[in-house]
């Protein structure tokens, strides 16, 4: 019961957060989206490729983005750069080692696959634009 | 600081027009960097040129250095910091003295020769690169200097992306390809030859293993959600993990040649001991890319499991026909696979299970195709369309 209680207590941790999810595996994408929605976030996507992610990015004022690195053999860093140019931080969820991230993104939050969903929620909270503004 | 009005001279225009021509003739990225650094030196006595691309690539070069000493990673924290700033702000940054500018003051503890910087983001409102001109001495660049360096930086940025696209004629998106990026990471580690190849294989393998573990975890979770008993849970999970293992083995066997659709179908039927007289398969040779084979393999597994438990393969009179053909005369050419069970009355299920998601949702999401499961009076039918694209099919 205590577990159920803790889930309810933190239920709306991410309420009002707009999070873009880009991940090419259907079930992993679904898992990420479900974990974020459970905490009250509004998920944009999921997108399975860079092109779709780019289209979704252009339409919304996002708080942050959760990005898989390897999307059908295409890497996500160009998109991450475009997101950054809009002031949107990216969280990288990948099977690659953190050491492989380009230096330009070494300050981003990195989550190792399989993703720890609690860490994911925390990362989204930390990276979101609305929370960063409150801190400033 | 830019009190003097910008007044580029004829000499500046000449230098810039020469720059365009020279940069256009460069054959490699390194040549672009070298030419650009030399021009910045000539125009504004710049000591070094550094480029950070959002793709992660980096170049650092000081004219005067030997031609082969272009560094592929930038060690200066100040330059990295200001590149990130310029990319985010999408505007040029002028730092006359890194010790006095509040953007850089706290980053000057590392080793850097740079004292003064002009950092230009390239690519308009969504920059793809930041180009830094650095001087070893404090310097207050005038408005003309900034204008000239901005023009030079933009020409350099364009030349760099041109090189990127030209060196890879068969892969137009190579600048965004994972193998390219890993190659750059390997270069940054200073690896060569066998060691480099080994390192790349380990990176790819690590990625694959962790990804598969992620998929397994979601299989475990979703199967638990939709199973009514421990026995059913165990049986379903075992079947799905075995199917995943099979499709992985297929995908890795000869990644370049692709996976034969016929072999994929046969393997699934054999795994369920369902190959004898009850099943007919027919179709032209089709070779699937590893990812497409993985996705389709899992869907075929679910279809076969259901057929064995409740469908055409569960009774003596039922039979199953699996055919596929290339449909070229349509707007979005595809391979259409039809799964037709006959001789078994079926009723639509009362709830939507995980198995159905595996059949109907993964193909549209992962392969941009279509998949429809139909419960006909005589048996289950499934129509799967896999777009005939380079991502899915080996020509």
pLDDT interval class at B172 (50, 70, 90): very low
Distance CA B306, CA A67 (A): 35
Within 13 Å and on the Cβ side, how many CA atoms surround B346? Answer: 26
Which residues, in sequence order, are bridge partners of residue B393?
A: B288
- How many other CB atoms sit within 10 Å of the CB of residue A15? 10
pLDDT class for B66, splitting at 50, 70, 90?
low
Tell me whether residues A78 and B368 touch, CB distance under 8 A: no
- For residues A58 and A112, the answer to whether their CB atoms sit within 8 Å is no
Question: What domains, with CATH codes, occur in chain B?
Answer: 10-172 (3.30.450.40), 193-394 (3.30.565.10)
To the nearest whole angstrom, how far is the Cα of B13 from the nearest Cα of chain A? Answer: 30
Report residue B76's pLDDT band, with 50, 70 and 90 as the boundaries. confident
| A1 pLDDT more than 60 | no
Q: Is the pLDDT of residue A3 over 60?
A: no
Nearest to B211 among A46, A87, A113 (CB): A113
Residue A6: predicted pLDDT: 44
Contact flag B54-A78 (C-beta cutoff 8 Å): yes
Question: What's the length of chain B?
Answer: 395
B210: how many CB neighbours lie within 10 A of its CB?
Answer: 18
Please tell me if residue A16 touches chain B, with a CB cutoff of 8 Å. Answer: no
**In this structure, what are the phi and psi dihedrals at residue B334, rounded to the nearest 5 degrees?**
-150, 170
The CATH number linked to A56 is: 3.40.50.2300
pLDDT computed for residue B3 by the predictor: 47
Mean pLDDT of chain B: 85
Is residue A11 in a domain? no
Q: Is A13 part of any domain?
A: no
Given a cut of 60, is residue A115 above it in pLDDT? Answer: yes
Cα–Cα distance measured from residue B38 to residue B62, given in angstroms and rounded to the nearest whole number: 8
In a domain, A2, yes or no: no
Average pLDDT rounded to a whole number, residues B263-285: 87
Residue A96 has pLDDT above 60, yes or no: yes
Query: Is the peptide bond prior to A46 cis by the omega test (within 30 degrees of 0)?
Result: yes
Nearest to A103 among B58, B209, B219 (CB): B58
In a domain, A4, yes or no: no
Cα-Cα-Cα-Cα torsion B106, B109, B115, B116, nearest 10 degrees, comes to -30
Q: What is the pLDDT of residues B120-161, one digit of tens each?
A: 999 878 888 999 999 988 888 888 888 889 989 988 888 887
Residue B358 reports pLDDT greater than 80: yes
Residue B104 has pLDDT above 60, yes or no: yes
Q: Do B20 and B39 touch, CB atoms closer than 8 A?
A: no
Distance (Å, whole) CA B262 – CA B259: 9
**Tens-digit pLDDT profile for residues A100-111:** 888 788 888 999
Q: Which two tokens stand for residue B345?
A: 């009355």
CB contact under 8 A, B73 and A70: no
Q: Is residue A99 part of a domain?
A: yes
Cβ-contact B251, B294 below 8 angstroms? yes
Say how many domains are in chain A: 1
Q: Per-residue DSSP letters for B93-127?
A: EEES-TTT-TTTGGGTTS-----EEEEEEESTTS-
- Of the candidate ranges B18-22, B55-59, B130-134, B362-366, the one whose mean pLDDT is the lowest: B55-59
Write out pLDDT tens, residues A28-71.
999 999 999 999 999 998 999 998 899 898 877 899 999 999 99
Please check the confidence at residue B199 and state whether its pLDDT lies above 90: no
pTM for this predicted structure: 0.64
Nearest 5°: the CA angle B258, B262, B265 is 105
Within a 10 A sphere around the Cβ of A72, how many other Cβ atoms? Answer: 17
The phi-psi region of residue B350 (left if phi > 0; otherwise alpha if psi is between -120 and 50; otherwise beta) is alpha
Residue B258 scores a pLDDT above 80? yes
The ipTM of this complex is 0.85
Whether B194 has its CB under 8 Å from any CB of chain A: the answer is no
The share of chain B scoring above pLDDT 70, in percent, equals 93
Per-residue pLDDT reduced to its tens digit, B298-338: 999 999 999 998 899 998 889 999 999 999 998 889 999 99
B41, exposed or middle or buried, with CB in 10 Å at 0-12, 13-18, 19+? middle
Given a cut of 50, is residue B77 above it in pLDDT? Answer: yes
A135 falls in which pLDDT band (50, 70, 90)? very low
B contacts of A88 (beta carbons < 8 Å): none
Domain membership of residue A1 (yes or no) is no
In chain B the beta strands, taken as DSSP E runs, fall at 48-53, 58-61, 93-95, 116-122, 129-135, 259-260, 279-282, 287-288, 319-327, 334-342, 370-376, 379-387, 393-394
Judge whether A8 lies within some domain: no
Residue B185 in this model has a pLDDT that exceeds 90: no
Domain that holds residue A107: 18-135
Q: A105: which chain B residues are within 8 Å (Cβ-Cβ)?
A: 56
**Nearest residue of A to residue B79 by CA position?**
A104
Report d(CA B311, CA A34) in Å as an integer. 32
Top residue of A81, A82, A83, A97 to mutate, by most chain B CBs within 10 Å, is A81
Find the CB nearest B207 among A70, A87, A114.
A70
Looking at beta carbons, which residues of chain A come within 8 Å of B211?
25, 28, 95, 113
Q: Does A98 touch chain B (CB under 8 A)?
A: no
């Amino acid at each position: 019961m205590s577990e159920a209680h803790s889930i309810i207590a933190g239920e709306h941790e991410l309420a009002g957060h707009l999070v873009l999810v880009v991940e090419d595996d259907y079930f992993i994408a679904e898992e990420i989206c479900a974990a974020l929605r459970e905490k009250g976030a509004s998920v944009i996507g999921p997108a399975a490729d860079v092109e779709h992610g780019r289209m979704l990015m252009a339409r919304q004022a996002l708080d942050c983005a959760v990005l898989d690195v390897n999307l059908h053999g295409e890497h996500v860093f160009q998109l991450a750069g475009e997101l950054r140019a809009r002031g949107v931080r990216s969280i990288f969820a990948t099977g690659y080692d953190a050491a492989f991230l380009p230096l330009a993104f070494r300050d981003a939050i990195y989550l190792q696959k399989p993703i720890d969903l609690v860490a994911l929620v925390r990362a989204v909270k930390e990276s979101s634009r609305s929370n960063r503004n409150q801190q400033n | 600081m830019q009190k003097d009005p910008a007044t580029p001279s004829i000499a500046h225009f000449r230098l810039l027009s020469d720059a365009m021509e020279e940069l256009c003739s460069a054959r490699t990225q390194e040549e672009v960097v070298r030419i650009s650094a030399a021009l910045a030196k000539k125009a504004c006595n710049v000591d070094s040129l550094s480029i950070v691309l959002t793709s992660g690539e980096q170049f650092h070069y000081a004219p005067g250095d030997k031609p082969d000493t272009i560094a592929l990673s930038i060690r200066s924290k100040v330059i990295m910091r200001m590149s990130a700033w310029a990319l985010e702000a999408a505007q040029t940054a002028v730092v006359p003295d890194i010790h006095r500018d509040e953007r850089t003051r706290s980053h000057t503890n590392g080793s850097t020769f740079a004292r003064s910087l002009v950092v230009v983001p390239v690519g308009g409102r969504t920059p793809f690169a930041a180009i830094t001109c650095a001087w070893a001495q404090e310097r207050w660049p005038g408005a003309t200097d900034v204008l000239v360096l901005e023009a030079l930086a933009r020409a350099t940025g364009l030349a760099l992306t041109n090189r990127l696209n030209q060196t890879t004629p068969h892969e137009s998106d190579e600048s965004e390809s994972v193998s390219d990026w890993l190659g750059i990471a390997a270069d940054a580690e200073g690896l060569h030859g066998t060691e480099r190849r080994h390192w790349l294989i380990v990176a790819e393998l690590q990625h694959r293993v962790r990804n598969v573990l992620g998929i397994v975890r979601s299989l475990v979770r979703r199967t638990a959600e939709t199973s009514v008993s421990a026995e059913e849970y165990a049986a379903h999970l075992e079947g799905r993990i075995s199917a995943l293992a099979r499709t992985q083995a297929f995908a890795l066997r000869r990644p370049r040649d692709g996976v034969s659709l016929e072999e994929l179908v046969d393997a699934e039927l054999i795994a369920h001991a369902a190959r004898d007289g009850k099943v007919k398969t027919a179709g032209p040779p089709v070779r699937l890319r590893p990812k497409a084979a993985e996705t389709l393999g899992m869907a075929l597994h679910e279809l076969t499991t259901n057929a064995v438990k409740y469908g055409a393969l569960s009774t003596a009179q039922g039979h199953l026909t699996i055919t596929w053909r290339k449909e070229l005369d349509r707007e979005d050419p595809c391979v259409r696979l039809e799964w037709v069970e006959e001789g078994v009355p079926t009723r639509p299920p009362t709830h939507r299970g995980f198995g159905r998601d595996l059949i109907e949702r993964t193909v549209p999401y992962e392969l941009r195709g279509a998949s429809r499961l139909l419960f006909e009076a005589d048996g289950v039918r499934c129509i799967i369309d896999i777009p005939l694209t380079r991502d899915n099919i080996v020509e």
